[in-house]
Chain A
């Protein structure tokens, strides 16, 4: 599975959009980009995933560049409850079901 690179930490004002970048320059053609988040003392929570096209669900939007080397997770109106560690994972090669978590981005939403 491809390695991903994310900023260590980010701040966002409450009510504003949070844009979390992820670099996955070695992603292969059949690997999906997954985003999970982990709020303190809880298990990771699935947010969204995509292959090529941009995706949107009730939690977030995922924008994947045309060359698929990077992506951005967008939380449209961040709240204090969105404070968490956000993990971007490129997964799917070999069809093993393995998820390899990187260090993630700690997002702090401030009032």
Chain B
């Protein structure tokens, strides 16, 4: 069982739709992350939030818009996505954002398909 919960588990959307992915953790972690994983490839970091502030954006296109409303929640707002954005989107959290001795805990992801 994972302590990081992601919803929905699956999402199919058209290129003109607007949708949001949600991630929740109740471990008191102060860092949260979004990763993208294409089929048969390793996860790639997209965004890092540290104490509810965006600290790292790995040059992600603006059609992906992250939001951290509070320390337990992380959203990823999607708009005007392209078929190549179809992937597994993973959320993770860690106790502190700058501690190098801090394992990240992952959710099971949202599998996104763009039609």
Contact = CB atoms under 8 A, between A and B. Distances in A.
Interface residues of B, number: 28
A73 B46 CA distance: 28
Contacts of A36: 106
Contacts of B44: 101
A42 B44 CA distance: 15
B56 interface: yes
Contacts of B99: 95, 97
Given A87-B42, A101-B43, A104-B42, A96 B106 contact: no
Interface string B98-115: 111111111111000000
Contacts of B107: 43
Nearest to A99: B104
Interface of B: 2, 4, 31, 33, 42-45, 48, 50, 55-56, 90, 92, 94, 97-109
23 contacts: A32-B101, A34-B103, A42-B2, A42-B109, A43-B2, A43-B90, A43-B106, A44-B90, A44-B106, A46-B103, A92-B100, A95-B98, A95-B100, A96-B48, A97-B48, A97-B56, A97-B94, A97-B97, A97-B102, A99-B43, A100-B45, A101-B43, A104-B42
